[in-house]
Amino acid sequence: MQSDISNNHIQASFQLKHPEAQDNSFILDIDLTLPSQGVTVIFGPSGSGKTTLLRCIAGLEEPDKGQLSINGEIWQNASLSMPTHKRPLGYVFQESSLFPHLTALGNLNYARKRAGKKASNQLYDHAIDIMGIHDILHRYPQQLSGGERQRVAIARALLINPLLLLMDEPLASLDKQRKQEIIPYLERLGSSLEIPIIYVSHSMDEVSRLADHVVVLKQGKVSAQGGLTEVFSQIDLPLDYGDDTGVVLQGHVIERDRKWHLARIAFSDGELWVRDRGDELNQAVRVRVLARDVSLTLTPDNDSSILNRLAVTVDEIAADTDEAMALIRLKTGSEYLIARLTCKSIDRLQLEPGKKLWAQIKSVALIS
């Protein structure tokens, strides 16, 4: 049974002591089993160990103790530490790091020549197509925008023909407009590649749009991990997300109301209306519901201007960082919502686990 798990997952275990630490504390102490496909986002605040973990996986950081296997292939254990240049991985940094004396095409061809296993013509064409860079291949890096340089850098990483793609906050150096331009390309990347992607970010927006699996780090340790919906429907995480507290639901478009410019999204046990942005019927989408946009009523209020209301059951109540507020985890079918209410409102509604009521959702963000 263990063999089956190791042959179909990424297994990573690292302990790394801070170089200046005088005691037995660790800057990184993790033991992870990650899926071998899709996008795993390593999420957490600055200083939580995200980049250090990525560098350990890449072999750029030598841990005190380390074990790493990719689909059963051992890259590191007590007696072996494969050097970085022999690890079949692509690495995309915060800065694109393109060779300035080569065109975009020259940068791609350089990576292709240096690959341990030369990328096929099919992969070459696919990398250019998925990153949408065909029309800029003749330009030099200084002639490209920041977003265009990162797209070339990602394509270059793919042409190394890696078994694993690592991405260390690749949007961190871009302004908001450039980030919005490149995220759709990253979404296409995650859905079309057969190799796993490990993506470091501290942006909730990037996590919501890109992640299939999430690992939350705090002070070098794993505080939560699992599927995107599972992780962010928890209300006992040790991180304070502030106004970003909320859940992500995965569904598909079942109706477009052209008169009112709205679309109806069905998820596993309910439906929500959102702004229509032109998605096709049956298209898979993600919607984000923030805790601040959820209010509760004891009866359905059809006189309200709020379109979205769901029958819910109180699952759990937890203290918020603001002592006047609390977080309520609500179950609707097999899915969960989170509401942030004042403690006075909770007392007035006599909320407790198991109580049935209605959630009114003031705003729903369509994020992918």
pLDDT band at 118 (very low <50, low <70, confident <90, very high): confident
Percentage helix, strand, coil, to 5, in the chain? 25, 35, 35
Tens of pLDDT, residue by residue over 257-268, are 999 999 999 998
pLDDT value of position 86: 92
Q: For 296-307, how does the pLDDT look when each residue is reduced to its tens digit (9 = 90+)?
A: 999 987 788 899
Parts of the chain belonging to CATH 2.40.50.100? 246-366
- Confidence class of residue 2 from pLDDT cuts 50, 70 and 90? very low
Distance between CA atoms of residues 15 and 25, nearest Å: 10
Could you say which of 3.10.330.20, 3.20.20.60, 3.40.50.300, 3.40.50.720 is the CATH number of the domain covering 2-238?
3.40.50.300
DSSP letters of 131-172? Answer: TT-GGGTTS-GGGS-HHHHHHHHHHHHHTT--SEEEEESTTT
User: In this predicted structure, what is the pLDDT of residue 20?
Assistant: 52
Give the CA distances from residue 351 to residues 29, 133, 361, in Å, rounded to whole numbers and listed in that order. 39, 54, 18
Domain 246-366 adopts which CATH fold? OB fold (Dihydrolipoamide Acetyltransferase, E2P) (2.40.50)
Q: What is the pLDDT of residues 83-96, one digit of tens each?
A: 999 999 999 998 88
Domain(s) of CATH 3.40.50.300: residues in the chain? 2-238
pLDDT at 1: 37
| The pLDDT value given to residue 170 | 93
Note the pLDDT of residue 24: 57
Tell me, what DSSP letter sits at residue 78?
T
| DSSP state for residue 343 in the 8-state scheme | H
Any idea which of 15-19, 322-326, 331-335 has the lowest mean pLDDT? 15-19
Helices and strands in the chain: count of H runs, count of E runs: 9, 21
Query: What is residue 6's predicted lDDT score, i.e. its pLDDT?
Result: 57
Report the pLDDT value the prediction gives residue 3, as an integer from 0 to 100: 42
Q: What is the pLDDT of residue 224?
A: 93
